Structure formats: structure tokens, C-alpha cells
Chains A and B, each alone.
Chain A
């Protein structure tokens, strides 16, 4: 059985979700093709071709694909689906948008957000914000699967797969039209794939304080910045910083939670981090139940001390 992985990409480059999804695909089949559906996406296709285990890269290009519009991506994937027994898609916000549309067009259920491949038809996936794990068996002949990328180690580079052109499909009449993207440019690593994440909570009290406290610490550690839903709801941080059930799920090597109490919904988004550090002045905060290292202190004094200690340690 052959497997198609839909690359997560920015046209110029691929996201690390692609390499992680290939790792999940490799548990199903040795015959893995990667589709890069975009516009001026040769850069992304070249990067995908270097990943270990890829048989070939399919490159489909059109303006609608360049914006990853669900209708266009679905048409492109459904046209290719005949040659594959499973289609794996990284569960990024773009993937979550088009994967169910692809599944419904193929008249199959989506197997959502898998964290483990048990066998060719059986998978483990989190439900109830990760408070329970469901083992599901699919009887669909063709499987459409989204992959929780934090659960898989990325495959390495080292391959040199051929790149073939694929049909992008025609623009349909019933298609959303792209108007604009407003993407915040940042030199920091991307939150979902960062090795270190520093997150701030409602204790920050204002957007200015959030930036004053969290940003320098993140920059010192080379970390991405995250936030609790409470901080986002209060307007201290933008929504794409949100870590949790209703935001992003992260699993970095090191997660530093500053002034975050640890609501169930936040823990769902970060409890699979390798090492968790919590700084909170409330010793009873639930975040300490999952933290490997807890410091009971006011962040106002603890964060500057932490900055000094990091400097002293050569950071």
C-alpha cells in the first residue's frame, strides 16, 4: 500500500510537520509520496525531496493552492487519491482546515490527530483535550488521517527523491476567495515546533508587561513565546500564541510557564513537554502538579533573577 503525505509548507520552505508526518507514514508503508500543493513552491518541493524515506514528491501549483485554500487543496488531493491507501496530513491549522473536506469527498471518516500507529488500521488519538486516549480501528478502504506532529520524531534529511508535476485542478465556482493574510513576522522559532517555549499567563496583567517580561526571557533562551487562554482572552497576547485545548498543542524539550495557574485546558496543550518549569507565586497552583521544576515566587522578582542566573551560566 502506498501513502500520500500532504506537506505543510510556506511555498518557499516546508514546516517540520512534514518530516514528522512522514515518520508516522513510515509506520504504515515504505512507499511514501509527498504532495506539495502551493504556488511558486519549488523551494518547498526541493526541501521535501531531501527527506529520508520519500519515494517521490508531487508538485502542484496554482494561485488558490498558494494560499492553501481548502477547496483547491481538496480538489487537487482527491484527483490523486486513487493511487493511495492512506492520506496523512499534519494537524496544522491549514491541515485541520482541508483534511475533513478531503475525507468527506472520499466518503470516509477522518481519523483525527493520531499520536500512535498501532497497526495499518488502528490508531491512538486524544479526546477530551487529551484527558482520555481513544484507540480506534478504521474499516474504511482509504484512510484520511491527521497527525499530531508533536507525537512523532521528524525523519532526517539525506534523501534525493525525484520531483514530478501534478495537476493543480481548475478553480471551482464554489470556492472561497482569498483576500489577504496578516502574518506577524518574527525572528523567534515557530511555536508548534520550537525546542523551548516560554509562556505567560494572566498574572502579567497587561500586554506591555507581557512583552516586557516574557519576550526578553524567550529571546535569551532562543525560545518561542506562548500564552495561556486567560492571557489571550484578556488581550495580553495574540491568539496564535495560545497554548492549550483551544489553541496550539506543543511538546518542546523545555516549557517555561510564567504566572500560569494551569487550567485543564492549558495543561492539555503542553503536558507532553519533556521538561516543564513553572514559576508562580501561588504554591497551590495546579501547574505545579505537572512541573518538573517549580519555583514558588512572584515572577516580578523571579524572572529578572532567572535572566541573571542564565547570564551567569553563559546564556
Chain B
């Protein structure tokens, strides 16, 4: 069974994001970039399926700038087998990304796609669901547990107020939530091994997908800042203040 894992290069989750003064976007110059944390969980899950003997090959695909090769190398070091980079200088919107991934799937014919539920830059939480729609495949989003048996997968997913369990026939799209697993740190030998693994370089034109977006970003601004508050000395003073403010 082949598993495809799409991954995205984003600003590292520990970095404080700064908006550019000209309001055209956020400042990416000299900022630490990493694999989107949810995608790392997806890669880990796919590699675990391989280690259990369920998956035979794990292919990672990324759409982005040349440096996204580093992101793919990170996935290869975790244990993925090979990579595909679709080079694009445009930060494609989810629908275009889903169309590109659909074209990759037409070539690769994976039995299962595992991907992060959301990238922490655009915060759209959309590509997995869109891809499932375009392929007419079942979807199991926000997964906290995945069991694959034969040509079926049982997925426990996070919903408001608790958990839901679904069964999907493969092929299917599963999107990873935080508690699916804790990704490993790649060992040095595996990092070295990853350097020798293959990354196929492609362009968006190779797949005949137009990445121009129907969404135009007019501006990017800082959110309003909260005014500084006050320190209180005791719980009793706190209750008094809250009563004065009408909060109780």
C-alpha cells in the first residue's frame, strides 16, 4: 500500500510573526522556516504504517519555493521514501493546491493520503477536504487515531464535545490533528540517509494547473493590541474590580 503525504514549508511555530510595514504580507526574510507541525504528524503516522508492515512506500509532496526541498528532506529523514517538489513562487490558495495534488495522485495512485489538518500560516484548514471533494473520496478529518485493516481505515476524529469514529473505504483522505502521534526526532544516520533519497523536481505547468487565485489579498495588518491591564493584590480585590467592571 502506498501512502502520499503532502507537506508545507511555513514560518516556524515558535517565531513571532511580523507584519510588513507596507501591509503586503508578513515578513519572511531571515525567518526560521520549518515543516508545518500538523504535516510532521502526518509524516510520522505514514512512517509508522510502514514500520508496521501496512504501508510499502511513503511518498511526500510539497508545493512551494526551491527551499521547500529542505522540508521534504526533513520528511525523508523521519522515514519517507522519496519526494516530489512542485516548484511555485506563488503561495497557492487551497483550491489550487488541491488541484495540483489531484494531478499528483493521478500519477502516483496512492491508497491513502495523510496530511496535516491545517497549515499554521494561512490557517485555512481546507486542502484535505477539497482534495477529497475533487477525487470524490471519503474524508476523515482531525484524526486522533488511525487504524488501517485491509482496504478499510477506522479513524477516530476530534469533534466539538468529544470524539467520533468513522470507517472509510480506501482510497481516502485523512487529516491529522495534534494528538494523532508525537513525531520522532530524526536520527543522524537517518538524516544522512535522507540526503541520498530521490526528490523529483516538477513545475505547476507539468500538471496543467493554473495557480492564479480568485482571492486577492488587499492588505495584511496587525491585529488591534490590548491595552495594558492592572495588577491586583488579592483575590478579594480582584472580585471587587470584576464587580465594578460588571463582569460578575
- Is B one of A's binding partners? yes
Interfacial chain B residues near A296, Cβ < 8 Å: 231
Within 8 A of A (CB), among B141-159: 141-142, 144, 154-155, 158-159
Residue of A nearest to B13 (CB): A265
Query: Separation in Å of the B213 CB from the closest CB of chain A?
Result: 7
- Check B165 against A180 for contact (C-beta < 8 Å): yes
Complex interface: chain A residues within 8 A of B226 (CB): 271, 276, 289-290
**In the complex, how many angstroms separate the beta carbon of A17 from the nearest chain B beta carbon?**
10
Contact B230 A293 (CB under 8 A): yes
Q: Which of B60-68, B103-111, B129-137 interfaces with chain A?
A: B129-137
Q: How far is B117's CA from A112's CA once the two chains are assembled, in angstroms?
A: 14
Q: Is the CB of B160 within 8 A of A133?
A: no
Contact, CB under 8 Å: B248 / A313: yes
User: Are the C-beta atoms of A127 and B121 separated by less than 8 Å?
Assistant: yes
Residues on the A chain within 8 Å of B247, using CB: 253-254, 274-275
Could you tell me the distance between the alpha carbons of A110 and B131 in the complex, rounded to whole angstroms? 13
> Could you tell me the distance between the alpha carbons of A229 and B13 in the complex, rounded to whole angstroms?
14
Cβ-based interface call for A122 (8 A) = yes
Chain B residue numbers with a CB within 8 Å of A182 are 162-165
Residue A157 at the chain B interface, CB threshold 8 Å: no
Bound together, the chains give a CA A158 to CA B139 distance in angstroms of 38
Most chain B beta-carbon contacts within 10 A, residue among A110, A139, A253: A110
| Residue from A174, A175, A183 within 8 A of B161 (CB atoms) | A183
Cβ-defined partner of A179 (8 Å) among B144, B154, B223, B241? B154
Q: Assess whether A93 is in contact with B217, with CB atoms less than 8 Å apart.
A: no
Q: Report the bound CA distance from A97 to B214 in whole Å.
A: 22
Q: What separation, in Å, do the CA atoms of A178 and B248 have in the docked complex?
A: 42
Q: Across the interface, do A240 and B161 meet the contact criterion of CB distance under 8 Å? A: yes
Instruction: For the complex formed, measure the closest distance between the CB of A61 and the CB atoms of chain B, giving whole angstroms.
Output: 19
Shortest Cβ distance from A254 into B: residue: B247
Stretch at the interface among B73-81, B92-100, B188-196, B202-210: B92-100
Indicate whether A177 sits within 8 Å of B129 (C-beta atoms), given known contacts A109-B215, A137-B218, A309-B238: no
- B51 interface residue, CB < 8 Å from A? no
Q: State in angstroms the CA–CA spacing of A137 and B11 once bound together.
A: 24
A residues 107-135 with Cβ under 8 Å of B? 107-113, 122, 126-135
Query: Taking A74-B133, A309-B238 as contacts, is the C-beta distance between A294 and B13 under 8 angstroms?
Result: no
When A70-B139, A101-B139 are in contact, do A131 and B17 touch as well, CB less than 8 Å? yes
Task: Give the interface size bracket for A toward B.
Answer: 35 or more
Contact with B along A174-215 (1 / 0, CB 8 A): 111111111110100010100000000000000000000000
A33 in the interface, Cβ–Cβ < 8 Å?
no
Stretch at the interface among A20-28, A42-50, A162-170, A300-308: A300-308
Interface range on chain B (Cβ under 8 Å from partner): 35 or more
Those of A273-315 within 8 Å (CB) of chain B: 274-277, 288-297, 302, 305-306, 308-310, 312-313, 315
Report the Cα distance A245→B11, complex, angstroms. Answer: 15
* Dominant secondary structure at the A interface: mixed
Q: Which residue of A lies closest to B121 (CB)?
A: A128
With A134-B217, A137-B215, A271-B226 as given contacts, are A295 and B160 in contact (CB-CB < 8 Å)? Answer: no
One of B1-9, B42-50, B82-90, B166-174 contacting the partner: B166-174
Closest CB in chain B relative to A296 CB, distance in Å: 6
Q: Are A93 and B142 in contact (CB under 8 A)?
A: yes
Q: When the two chains form their complex, are residues B168 and A294 in contact, meaning their CB atoms are under 8 A apart?
A: no
B219 adjacent to A135 (CB under 8 Å)? yes
| A70 and B129 contacting across the interface, CB-CB below 8 Å | yes
Cβ of B184 within 8 Å of any chain A Cβ, yes or no, is no
B214 x A109 contact (CB < 8 A): yes
Q: Does chain A have a CB within 8 A of B242?
A: yes
Q: Could you tell me the distance between the alpha carbons of A313 and B248 in the complex, rounded to whole angstroms?
A: 10
Ordered by A's residue number, 30 sampled pairs between the chains whose C-beta atoms are within 8 Å are A93-B160, A96-B141, A97-B141, A97-B142, A100-B128, A104-B131, A104-B134, A109-B94, A110-B94, A110-B126, A128-B121, A131-B17, A132-B221, A133-B220, A135-B219, A137-B216, A138-B215, A139-B214, A139-B215, A139-B216, A172-B136, A177-B167, A184-B162, A245-B120, A275-B242, A275-B245, A277-B242, A309-B239, A310-B239, A313-B239
Q: Chain B residues in contact with chain A, CB under 8 A?
A: 11, 13, 16-17, 19, 26, 93-95, 98, 120-134, 136-142, 144, 154-155, 158-169, 172, 177-179, 213-223, 226, 228-236, 238-239, 241-243, 245, 247-248
Given known contacts A113-B123, A177-B166, A293-B230, what 6 new A-B pairs fall within 8 Å (CB)?
Answer: A97-B141, A100-B129, A110-B130, A183-B163, A254-B242, A276-B226
